[in-house]
């Protein structure tokens, strides 16, 4: 059957795109404030209209078919363009202030370098950016939007999972082993850089199925930024991730000496008031944040308990 615009359930495209991004219908429903069954119905109606499956028949997890991946990319680009144009059309009317709180590593390594793109859209909007502690014990500050690490229990507030971190060793290119991809045994006699008490390196060795190699020297940095700066300078091997540390990897300042080996290390989530109570500036920021993360090609989120230190610091 030839598909015409009036044959497509257009309201289902947004539900499909959220499902394809999260690979989880429950999380897609949470993002769009509709039920999981409504998301499932939207996906089925879209598949019926197209006459092709968008997800593989896999009961354990959602997996996109080749047609599903193609449609996901097209719909995501279209929704991003629509959202960006809508924000720009309303930019003159959007003024006042916006308050955002984020952990230091997220703010310094990911958010701040991108904020000028958001501020350029709204020249009359004032921004107040504050830092959150690694673990929030006394409750969130009164802000329009907060990014938190590995915490999802905020009664009465809307919690949207943003991205899961995958952790792996990195080093300066000069420290790469001449034989190509390195093995854990190559770290014998090397310098290991820590941003915590050693838990991140211990988890990586465990994920590799290897005993922890005794390093020649251990360097302990007070935060993620300092640990990665030491690694970029060639001081030793650090633990990084492809989300916060993606810039250094893309620029070639850091490389992955052990190939694709990695382990999961928790998630970042966005905490706001329920959508009906959000200010226009908060809605604009949350939409922009989702698009920035989607454009970065990040994966799905999954909860975990953070070791002491880690990505939030």
Residue limits of CATH 1.10.10.10 in the chain: 5-87
Closest among 167, 29, 111, 77 to 285, alpha carbons compared: 111
- 39: CB partners within 8 A, 6+ apart: 15, 18, 19, 25, 28, 29, 32
5-87 maps to CATH 1.10.10.10: yes
The arrangement of secondary structure in 97-313, i.e. its CATH architecture, is: 3-Layer(aba) Sandwich (3.40)
Long-range Cβ contacts of 133-141 (<8 Å, 24+ apart): 133/103, 133/312, 134/103, 134/306, 134/309, 134/310, 134/312, 134/313, 135/306, 135/312, 140/101, 140/271, 141/101
For 172-194, what is each residue's pLDDT tens digit? 999 987 767 789 989 988 999 99
Q: Of 112, 167, 157, nearest to 306 (Cα)?
A: 167
Mean pLDDT of 10-16: 86
Residues of the chain with CATH 3.40.190.290: 97-313
Task: Report pLDDT for 84.
Answer: 61
Q: What is the tens place of the pLDDT at every residue in 139-171?
A: 788 899 999 988 777 888 888 888 888 999 999
Does the pLDDT of residue 300 top 60, yes or no? Answer: no
User: CA 264 → CA 43, 151, 191, 205, distances in Å?
Assistant: 29, 15, 23, 13
**What is the β-pairing status of strands 125-131 and 96-102?**
parallel
User: Among 109, 33, 24, which residue's Cα sits nearest to residue 296?
Assistant: 109
Give the model's pLDDT for residue 171: 94
């Amino acid at each position: 059957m030839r598909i015409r615009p009036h044959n497509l359930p257009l309201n289902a495209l947004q539900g499909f795109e959220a499902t394809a991004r999260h690979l989880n219908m429950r999380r897609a429903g949470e993002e769009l404030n509709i039920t999981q069954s409504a998301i499932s119905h939207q996906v089925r109606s879209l598949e019926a209209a197209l006459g092709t499956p968008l997800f593989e028949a896999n009961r354990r997890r959602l997996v996109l078919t080749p047609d599903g991946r193609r449609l996901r990319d097209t719909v995501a680009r279209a929704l991003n363009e629509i959202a960006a144009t809508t924000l720009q059309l309303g930019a003159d009317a959007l003024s006042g202030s916006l308050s955002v709180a984020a952990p230091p590593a997220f703010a310094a390594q990911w958010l701040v370098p991108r904020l000028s793109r958001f501020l350029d859209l709204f020249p009359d909007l004032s921004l107040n950016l504050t830092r959150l502690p690694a673990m929030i014990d006394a409750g969130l500050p009164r802000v329009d939007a907060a990014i938190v690490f590995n915490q999802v229990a905020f009664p009465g507030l809307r919690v949207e999972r943003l991205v899961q971190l995958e952790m792996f060793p990195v080093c300066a290119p000069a420290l790469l082993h001449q034989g190509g991809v390195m093995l854990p045994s190559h770290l014998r006699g090397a310098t290991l850089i820590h941003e915590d008490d050693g838990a991140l390196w211990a988890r990586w060795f465990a994920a590799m199925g290897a005993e922890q190699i005794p390093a020649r020297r251990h360097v302990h940095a007070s935060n993620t930024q300092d640990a990665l700066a030491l690694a970029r300078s060639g001081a030793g091997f650090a633990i990084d991730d492809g989300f916060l540390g993606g810039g250094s990897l893309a620029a070639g300042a850091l490389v992955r000496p052990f190939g694709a080996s990695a382990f999961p290390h928790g998630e970042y989530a966005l905490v706001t008031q329920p959508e009906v109570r959000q200010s226009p500036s908060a809605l604009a920021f949350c939409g922009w944040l989702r698009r920035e993360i989607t454009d970065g090609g990040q994966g799905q989120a999954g909860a975990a308990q953070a070791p002491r230190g880690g990505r939030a610091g």
